[in-house]
Structure 1
Amino acid sequence: MENDPKYVVTTSRRAGSDVLALARDKAAEWNLPYVDRAGVSLVDAVGDVDAVFIFDLDGMSLSTGESSLRFSLGTAALRLQSISRGEPETLMRAANLQPGDNVLDATLGLGHDSLVAARAVGSTGSITGVESSWPLYMLFKEGLLHYEAGDESSTVQPVFDDSRRFLESAEESSFDVVILDPMFANPKRSDGSFEVLRKFANPSSLDAAWVEMARRVAKRCVVVKSEREASWFSSEGLERVSSGGRVNWYWAPAGS
């Protein structure tokens, strides 16, 4: 359709034959145009598009021309270090994550919560991450190919879908824990490449109906991150969890 986003695939300016072949294969797999850089600038190569998937030796980045974003651990790196040291990481503590747990991250975003949860539940657990933005979903999915989680972590399974639609279709009590972090819908300048996130992040705001859907699917609890406490939090059973940081965490028991 005329208003559909326009995406293209290309490579870094001096990419080798292996990277060129990979980029062409991905373009064909995703049914997107492949553009040969031919040593020219990105703007001259791709023209006016909404986003560019750029492949190089280090993996893939997502670029809007003015800003680019690459898969990285970000603040999750410090959280993973805390778990390794046996310290009480907030998500792990709020959800009482245990080895073998089945966790749904209903707002995957850059996947930081999913990667932390994957370490907490261990190799016997499972993590499903739902992301409704196709470019961000692909960025995370491709990034996982280069991420060494280690034997102590479970594998994150990304799913491209709308969070509410996924929750509506999921069976009751089908996940031990459900994570909701719609703060990602309004990214701050500290959240990686701000312009890319602002362009592609889902703008949906947290509401009681969303939490109720998550509680129906959860077997143990729902964990929510929110900038501030809304008036309806108490009616949905949301209680603030002490975190000692700038992010506000809330916990609600399973069941709608």
Structure 2
Amino acid sequence: MIVTTARKQASKLEGKAKEVASHLNGLFIKRDDASVDELLNTHKSKVIVVAKSRLTLYTEDRMEPFFYHPSSAMFRVKQWLRGMRDPLVDVADLKEGMSFLDCTLGLASDSLMAKLAVGEKGCVTGLEANREAAYIVKEGLKEWQEGPKEMIKRMREINVIHTHHLPYLQQASSSSIDVVYFDPMFEVHVETSAGIKGLKGIACHDDIDEEVLFHAKRVAKKKVVLKDHWQSERFNKFGFKQMKRQHAAFHYGFIDVTTNRGV
């Protein structure tokens, strides 16, 4: 993997670019006048461009570039701060001080909503299987400056870990996290923003299965929550109670693990 700078203020960005390259075991290359396409063609490798305000990942297959952006979370956050309800918070029954494990972090939109709901005393951890995506989102959450102060504050408190969710769940203690959450890639195509399109090209597409659900239910203290396309078979296949939302392309479902434990 190649790491370089944006053309603008390249000399000032070289230190940061070298730091990114070191963290991701990449190779720092001076930008000079080369275009991103030229770098991709020359090095036959992914390219991360370090700019003043963001990191952008370009892949050899010329898919949409990937960078951090709050995406739909910005709108949801503003609604939440005005006292409106959020479907994830409702389904997961998130309260201040609870813990939330996002097994499919992506752009951290749902993790951000969860962090707003559980507050400063609560804990939100996001798992991302793709190394570059995990790093870019982690840095984005630390550096993003636009939006309500409460949102910025909670962004900084999300714990991002580069790992696949299965080994993490296998090693986690039973009943150690209040809510375990999954947002796998939809089985049915849905039109998405550029940010999400960039994620689709690099995201882990491993489906959830019986082993994953076994450990998720073991680790969860209260609920396992799934977000999926409204036509997805995963809800019935894995026993999630689907909460239908009129005119919404995706629904949430949940498994109440306290029922089986008699809590």
**TM-score in terms of structure 1 length:** 0.87
* Correspondence for 1:213: 215
Q: 2:250 aligns with which of 244, 247, 251?
A: 247
Residues 184, 201 of structure 1: 8 Å contact kept = no
Q: 1:83 to 1:171 in 2, by over 3 A?
A: same
* Correspondence for 1:3: none
Residues 185, 205 of structure 2: 8 Å contact kept = no
- State the SS of the aligned residue for 2:144: coil
- The aligned amino acid for 1:14 is K
The answer to whether structure 1 residue 145 and structure 2 residue 142 are counterparts is yes
Aligned ranges 1:1-80 → 2 under 5 Å:
7-46=1-40, 47-64=42-59, 66=62, 67-80=64-77
Q: 1:164 aligns with which of 150, 154, 166?
A: 166
Residues 69, 195 of structure 2: 8 Å contact kept = no
Q: 1:184 to 1:59 in 2, by over 3 A?
A: farther
The answer to whether structure 1 residue 91 and structure 2 residue 88 are counterparts is yes
Offset, 1:188: 4.5
- The aligned amino acid for 1:168 is Q
CA distance in 2, matches of 1:203, 1:74: 20
Offset, 1:226: 1.9
- The aligned amino acid for 1:43 is D
**Consecutive unaligned residues in structure 2, runs of 5 or more:** 146-150
Residues 118, 154 of structure 1: 8 Å contact kept = no
Q: 1:243 to 1:60 in 2, by over 3 A?
A: same
Offset, 1:187: 7.2
Residues 141, 155 of structure 2: 8 Å contact kept = no
- The aligned amino acid for 2:256 is P
CA distance in 1, matches of 2:153, 2:195: 30
* Correspondence for 1:196: 198
Residues 123, 153 of structure 1: 8 Å contact kept = no
CA distance in 1, matches of 2:209, 2:177: 20
- State the SS of the aligned residue for 2:20: helix
Offset, 1:153: 6.5
CA distance in 2, matches of 1:143, 1:186: 28
Offset, 1:128: 0.5
Offset, 1:183: 2.3
- State the SS of the aligned residue for 2:31: coil
Residues 123, 151 of structure 1: 8 Å contact kept = no
Q: 1:233 aligns with which of 231, 236, 242?
A: 236
* Correspondence for 1:121: 118
Q: Quote the RMSD (CA, aligned, Å).
A: 2.4
